[in-house]
Structure 1
Amino acid sequence: MPDKTDGATFFAQNCASCHGETGRGDGPLAKNLPQSPTDLTQLSKRNGGKYPAARTLSYIYGDPKKSHLARVMPEFSSAMSEDLVPVEIDGVFTPTPPQLAGLLAYLESIQD
């Protein structure tokens, strides 16, 4: 099962250029974006102290409520493995690409 170490590697390769090495939204490409990247260390704080795993999963994988043209962040569904692992989200085991399972664990670990 992928863990936060795997997620940290995926983050460094795919997310840090915009969200910064620590996830605070201060990556080298952030200043060139029309909207500032989310400070990923504040996800739990902005959700009443609970890490929003389901919302994070759907947004990273590709938010079905918005088209790819309505968001600055790319959808990662096409870059994810078709092999899935079970991740418990809100008490339900959810089939999840392993890269995203690790990333979810990493993002939860960096919450302030």
Structure 2
Amino acid sequence: MTEKRSMKEVREEVIKVLKTVYDPEIWVNIYDLGLVYDIDINDNLDVYIKMTLTSPTCPIAETLVQKVESKLSYIDGVNHVEVEIVWEPVWNQDMITEDGKLALGLM
């Protein structure tokens, strides 16, 4: 029987996985682009992600959500994954992490 993982361990792995999902137009990962607004993990290790897109007319919105859900579902111990696209607050370049700004040449 495997030991149940802590929410902190799962959160750290969720972030690692999110950093492997790239915006195909900008080619920076969605986490460092600041597209991930909230990561909620409950006691059952169900993962709920609130994220946005750089544009409401993003042609790959549905595909991107499916990719995030699929990749996160492979994390050991995670039971359920749900990704919700939100539009508030509106994404802007100030939300990009320092790593993302470096990748984009903004620093």
Higher share of residues assigned helix? 1
Higher share of residues assigned strand? 2
The TM-score normalised by the length of structure 2 is 0.27
Could you say which structure has the greater relative contact order, defined with CA pairs below 8 angstroms and 6 or more residues apart? Answer: 1
Greater Rg over alpha carbons, structure: 2
